[in-house]
Chain A
Amino acid sequence: ETGVTQTPRHLVMGMTNKKSLKCEQHLGHNAMYWYKQSAKKPLELMFVYSLEERVENNSVPSRFSPECPNSSHLFLHLHTLQPEDSALYLCASSPGLAGDVQYFGPGTRLTVT
């Protein structure tokens, strides 16, 4: 256990559905991240939040919408996804931003049908 939890662990959704992924960190960290991991590809950084302020939106399609209500919680709202969005979505947190180690949650395995 890294102190970062994610729910749900598995999600199957249709292209017209709306769903949300949740991440919570119990480490007292100030920065949180969303990554996408597709098969045989490097981890892709999607969003970065520091003290609830978004500092990075890495050219992610608008069908992915992040929300960070406080420094312990991070959400990823999903709507009208495409089958190519099927992947493992990982949340991570770090003490601060400056090159700190990032600790990953267990991930949500998303399948879009």
Chain B
Amino acid sequence: QKEVEQNSGPLSVPEGAIASLNCTYSDRVSQSFFWYRQYSGKSPELIMSIYSNGDKEDGRFTAQLNKASQYVSLLIRDSQPSDSATYLCAVNPDDYKLSFGAGTTVTVRA
């Protein structure tokens, strides 16, 4: 079983719509959760971190964490063409490792 699974995508949304990205993880003791954005040919950049159950909002991004369901999601509101990228979910299953999902590619149609 994969440690971190993301909806496979690709996800295509019209400009201005909400993009919803999902991630499930297998290790119940995970405490830290991150969303990274990776543009084609570039390295991952952190966009959100979340540690407690519930929602965390930062601008147009909202991360949602439900540890009981082992589920973390990312919502992108008012999607812009510049949001077109691959989004990586990362989970910390032990002291120092981050386990990454394979990523979901998002395309925002103008």
Contact = CB atoms under 8 A, between A and B. Distances in A.
Interface core residue of A42, A101, A102 (most chain B CB under 10 Å): A42
Interface of A: prevailing SS: loop
Contacts, number: 51
A92 to B, nearest CB: 8
Given A42-B102, A45-B97, A99 B43 contact: no
Given A42-B4, A43-B88, A101 B46 contact: yes
Contacts of B85: none
Chain B contact patch, size range: 20 to 34
Contacts of A106: 42-43
Interface stretch (A12-20, A48-56, A74-82): A48-56
Interface residues of A, number: 24
A97 interface: yes
Interface of B: 4, 31-32, 34, 36, 42-46, 49, 88, 90, 92, 95-103
Interface of A: 2, 31, 40-43, 45, 48, 50, 55-56, 88, 90, 97-107
